[in-house]
């Protein structure tokens, strides 16, 4: 019977973790307009971005993109539309047709601009957004534990927290020791 009396405290911990995770996701989505998050998977942007960096992308109007901005885009298809490869590169120029010319910051792996050598110029329909924030190495965690494994791990952690609190030995309402009794915490002003 004593174990069940600690269940509400364990549930409070689990509920707290769930609320923090859900509210963090909500705050990120609200703060960044629901913009997607990407993980850098190549060295093409070294030293600015490294493999495993997490980048938060904000949707911006195409005409607000300037030279020097780092953008995320789907590679333009030669037949029109956008391909499936997603690239994070810097805007280095504008084409005569209004498209963007991009290039990775790592000049060893990207000695020339991407367009028009590898694919057509980047137009607004292929731009996913402008990189606003990068968080070093945080993407490695999501790459190490992709869905659904990451969700299973969160569930296991929550279950562990619940069971740890549920099986804990001491009583929740134990009396404070003499060192922290209220009479010793109050020092009268003289």
Which of helix, strand or coil describes residue 33?
Answer: coil
Cα-to-chain-centroid distance, residue 136: 10
* Beta carbons of 35 and 49 less than 8 angstroms apart: no
Cα-to-chain-centroid distance, residue 24: 10
Residue 184 pLDDT class (50, 70, 90 cuts): very low
21 and 45 in a common domain: no
pLDDT tens by residue, 52-83:
888 889 999 999 999 999 999 999 999 889 99
Find the domain containing 160 and state its range: 2-31+151-169
Can you state the angle between helices 7-31 and 149-167, rounded to 10 degrees?
Answer: 150
Residue 38 pLDDT class (50, 70, 90 cuts): confident
pLDDT for residue 170: 46
- The answer to whether position 176 is within a domain reads no
44 and 89 in a common domain: yes
pLDDT for residue 171: 46
pLDDT for residue 164: 75
41 and 24 in a common domain: no
pLDDT for residue 31: 46
User: Peptide bond preceding 127: is omega within 30 degrees of 0, i.e. cis?
Assistant: no
* Beta carbons of 55 and 134 less than 8 angstroms apart: yes
Strand partners, 56: 37, 133
99 and 76 in a common domain: yes
pLDDT for residue 94: 97
pLDDT tens by residue, 103-161:
999 999 999 999 999 999 999 999 999 999 888 887 777 677 766 676 677 677 767 77
Strand partners, 86: 74
CATH code, 59: 2.10.109.10
- 0.95 exceeded by pTM: no
């Amino acid at each position: 019977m004593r174990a069940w009396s600690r269940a509400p405290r364990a549930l409070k911990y689990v509920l707290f973790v769930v609320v923090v995770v859900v509210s963090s996701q909500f705050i990120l989505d609200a703060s960044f307009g629901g913009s997607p998050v990407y993980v850098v998977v190549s060295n093409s942007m070294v030293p600015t971005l490294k493999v495993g960096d997490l980048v938060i992308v904000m949707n911006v109007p195409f005409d607000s993109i300037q030279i020097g901005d780092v953008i995320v885009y789907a590679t333009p298809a030669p037949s029109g539309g956008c391909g499936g490869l997603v690239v994070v590169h810097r805007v280095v120029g504008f084409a005569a047709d209004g498209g963007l010319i991009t290039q990775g910051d790592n000049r060893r792996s990207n000695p020339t601009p991407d367009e028009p050598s590898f694919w057509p110029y980047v137009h607004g329909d292929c731009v996913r957004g402008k990189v606003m924030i990068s968080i070093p190495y945080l993407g490695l965690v999501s790459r190490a534990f992709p869905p659904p494994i990451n969700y299973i791990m969160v569930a296991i952690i929550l279950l562990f927290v619940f069971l740890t609190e549920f099986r804990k030995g001491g009583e929740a309402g134990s009396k404070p020791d003499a060192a922290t009794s209220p009479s010793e915490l109050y020092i009268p002003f003289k």
